[in-house]
Structure 1
Amino acid sequence: MPSTRVEKFVGAPRPNVFRALLDAHSVRTWMVPDGMTSRIHEFDARVGGRIRISLTYDLHTRAGKTAPHTDTFHGVFARVVPDREVVQTLEFETDDPDLRGEMTVTYTLDDVPGGTRVTAYHENLPPGLSPDENEIGFRAALAKLAEHAEQAEQAAED
């Protein structure tokens, strides 16, 4: 099955980026494409903890995977290595067989001069999910993650 791998520099220390991966309020801010609103139903950020998130288009011109204008996915935190790695197994809530199946999303954090390198790897994309579109969305989300973590770092310094 196809996969997507994206790297992003974040101008904030690794522990700050790690916190943004595990904080529901932060995730609601950065893990949402432009033109969509995020709703966190469940977010228990520990190994075995459940995740359930809905993303709804602001304008009802786009079709959702779960409902007419909404994509909902659920899963679990499969691995959490403090300040280093977060692994989630996720699947869309859908009747479309081309969008079904368990996907794995791994975020790996490494120290680099001036901040953190985030490597995000999305494995086992279902056949109905375009790898190119997934990469575009992943890049946008990581840009928002960087902005969020960098703003938090700046606020802590002030």
Structure 2
Amino acid sequence: MRGGSARTMGRTDKASRIVTASPATVYNAFVDPAALVEWLPPKGMIARIETFEPKAGGHYRMALTYDAPDPSVRGKASEDTDIVEGRFVELVPNDRVVQIVTFESDDPAFAGEMKMTWSLRPVAGGTEVSIVCENVPEGISAEDHAAGLSSTLDNLAEFVRQLV
């Protein structure tokens, strides 16, 4: 923040899962927008890609909408929607996807850039997929984020399993 009062950003959240697919299959699920909308949204949300340029320096814009209204849960951009603006920092085929994301929101608790590093490592029986999220906005609780990351990894595992 400007004006001398710095807001604490800096929480790092991590998750990983082994999926039964090759690193190439998993990587392709990250760079194909039709695939991404199938597995990326956590349970209870659906995704719509508005812009998608899967290259270093390329941008994307995605809307994540809750599939059932729940008055206890509010989207960051509107009542039922999160808007994510992202930039691909690094794309290393079959190895790594690094993104910087921001959330569209009037709430300062969701402000700032979050760095997401997805790493793919071949292991016996498939690929270990790891996600490291740095500078997680304080408006995203650690519990909710852990549940969302776990759900997304479960979705990815199921999605790529069907491709094999």
Please, what TM-score do these two structures have when normalized by structure 1?
0.94
Separation in structure 1 between the aligned mates of residue 35 and residue 12 of structure 2, nearest angstrom? 25
Q: Who is 1:63 aligned against?
A: 74
Q: CA deviation at 1:57?
A: 1.1
Q: Distance in 2 between matches of 1:142 and 1:34?
A: 11
Distance, in Å, in 2 between the alignment partners of 1:137 and 1:99 is 16
Question: What is the deviation of 1:60?
Answer: 2.1
Give 1:18's match in structure 2, choosing from 27, 31, 34: 27
Q: Does 1:147 align with 2:149?
A: no
Q: Which structure carries more helix by proportion?
A: 1
Equivalences, count: 153
Q: In angstroms, what is the RMSD of aligned CA positions?
A: 0.9
Q: CA deviation at 1:112?
A: 0.3
Distance 1:138 1:67 in 2: 21
Q: Which residue identity is paired with 2:14? A: R
Counterpart selection for 1:114 from 122, 125, 133: 125
Aligned to 2:59: 50
Percent same amino acid among aligned pairs? Answer: 37
The yes-or-no answer on 1:100 pairing with 2:125 is: no
The superposition leaves residues 29-64 of structure 1 with CA deviations (integer Å, 9 ceiling, x where unpaired) of 111122222111111111011111111112222311
- Shift in Å, 1:126: 0.9
8 Å CA contact 2:43, 2:152 repeated in 1: no
1:14/1:83 contact within 8 Å kept: yes
Distance in 2 between residues matched to 1:113 and 1:15, nearest whole Å:
15
C-alpha deviation, 1:87, in angstroms = 0.3
**Residue 73 (1) aligns with residue 84 (2):** yes
Provide structure 2 residue ranges, at least 5 long, that are not aligned to the other structure: 1-9
**Is the CA contact (8 Å cut-off) linking 2:69 and 2:80 kept in structure 1?**
yes
Q: Does residue 3 of structure 1 match 2:12?
A: yes
